[in-house]
């Protein structure tokens, strides 16, 4: 019989497998549908952040032509509503069959208040990137909250992925305390993977937040490469976040290889 710890590790590894689609593990994937009808194929995407706005709902054709149907600069929940509306039209009015691609950014699982916090923090990070020298963009964001209740104290973990053009440069995770009235950033952690040491021929390539608990325990899903046998490995580790931006291991790093 599997232990609860083993089952949890398997769940985290499954997350890693989903996120590693296309060998781009360090980006969290937002909501996307592949819609097909006879010889027609279209991808409906919720992009957050978008190329020019806080969020964008776009349709991309087989030839790569991309058309932004809606966007928002204040509340990203607007884009979530619009992509659901657009998917419904493709299926109910236009005869398409739409299949959902892996959605691993965690944004749609946030409650309304946490969504507001995410929007505010993401806009802040986008502005900082534009003003930096050299400048950078936020390519993607991963989110997790300790509770979905709006009445209790909660922690929110937001992982921002920075990029110069198409080249990733680093990720930065913010641990945010929310008391239901105001919020503040408890700590900032740069490059999660750097907190997990390599082991012999095994190299930690990237790390992605998986969940955060009310006591500050942060679960991280990892992708590890086996340089000797050329295997991909997937694992997990838990940490406690400190105010100074450091992480204290709460469990060893465990991983399995294909």
Of the pLDDT bands very low, low, confident and very high (cuts 50, 70, 90), residue 1 is very low
Q: Please tell me the distance from the alpha carbon of residue 222 to that of residue 132, in angstroms, as a whole number.
A: 29
pLDDT exceeds 90 at position 30: no
Q: Please tell me the distance from the alpha carbon of residue 224 to that of residue 207, in angstroms, as a whole number.
A: 9
What are 179-200's pLDDT values in tens digits?
988 999 999 999 999 999 988 8
Of 231 and 79, the structure prediction assigns the larger pLDDT to: 79
Question: What are the backbone dihedrals phi and psi of residue 135, each rounded to the nearest 5 degrees, phi first?
Answer: -75, 160
Domain boundary among 79, 101, 123: 101
Predicted local distance difference test score (pLDDT) of residue 12: 42
Helix (H, G, I), strand (E, B) or coil at 136: coil
Do 114 and 145 sit in the same domain of this protein?
yes
Do 77 and 16 sit in the same domain of this protein?
no
Predicted local distance difference test score (pLDDT) of residue 243: 79
Domain boundary among 101, 122, 153: 101
pLDDT exceeds 70 at position 13: no
Q: Please tell me the distance from the alpha carbon of residue 161 to that of residue 159, in angstroms, as a whole number.
A: 7
Domain boundary among 57, 81, 101: 101
Of the pLDDT bands very low, low, confident and very high (cuts 50, 70, 90), residue 17 is very low
Query: Which CATH number does the domain housing residue 38 bear?
Result: 2.20.140
Total structural domains within the chain: 2
Do 66 and 135 sit in the same domain of this protein?
no
Predicted local distance difference test score (pLDDT) of residue 158: 97
Do 23 and 55 sit in the same domain of this protein?
no
Do 181 and 73 sit in the same domain of this protein?
no
Q: Which residues pair with 36 in a beta bridge?
A: 41, 97
Written as six digits, the tokens of 176 are 């945010």
Q: Smallest Cα–Cα separation from 154: which of 221, 212, 218?
A: 212
What are 126-185's pLDDT values in tens digits?
999 999 999 999 999 999 999 866 567 899 999 999 999 778 889 999 999 999 889 999
Q: Please tell me the distance from the alpha carbon of residue 228 to that of residue 216, in angstroms, as a whole number.
A: 36
Of 258 and 87, the structure prediction assigns the larger pLDDT to: 87
Do 122 and 96 sit in the same domain of this protein?
no
Q: Please tell me the distance from the alpha carbon of residue 112 to that of residue 77, in angstroms, as a whole number.
A: 8
Domain span at residue 234 reads 4-29+105-257
Do 125 and 233 sit in the same domain of this protein?
yes
Do 15 and 133 sit in the same domain of this protein?
yes
């Amino acid at each position: 019989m599997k232990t609860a710890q083993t089952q949890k590790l398997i769940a985290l590894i499954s997350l890693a497998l989903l996120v590693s689609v296309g060998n781009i593990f360090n980006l969290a994937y937002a909501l996307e549908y592949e819609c097909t009808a006879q010889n027609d194929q279209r991808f409906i995407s919720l992009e957050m952040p978008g190329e020019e706005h806080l969020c964008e709902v776009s349709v991309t054709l087989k030839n790569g032509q991309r058309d932004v149907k809606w966007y928002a600069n204040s509340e990203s929940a607007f884009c979530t509503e619009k992509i659901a509306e657009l998917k419904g039209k493709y299926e109910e009015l236009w005869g398409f069959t739409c299949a959902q691609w892996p959605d691993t950014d965690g944004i749609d699982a946030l409650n309304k208040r946490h969504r507001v916090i995410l929007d505010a923090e993401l806009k802040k990070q986008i502005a900082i990137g534009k003003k930096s020298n050299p400048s950078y963009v936020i390519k993607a964001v991963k989110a997790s909250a300790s509770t979905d209740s709006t009445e209790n104290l909660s922690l929110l973990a937001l992982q921002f992925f920075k990029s110069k053009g198409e080249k990733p440069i680093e990720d930065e995770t913010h641990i945010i305390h929310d008391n239901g009235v105001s919020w503040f950033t408890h700590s900032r952690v740069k490059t999660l993977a750097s907190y997990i040491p390599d082991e012999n021929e095994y190299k930690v390539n990237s790390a992605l937040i998986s969940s955060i608990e009310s006591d500050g325990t942060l679960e991280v899903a990892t992708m590890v490469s086996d340089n000797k046998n050329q295997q991909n490995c997937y694992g997990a580790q838990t940490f406690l976040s400190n105010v100074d931006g450091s992480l204290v291991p709460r469990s060893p790093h465990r991983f399995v290889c294909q």
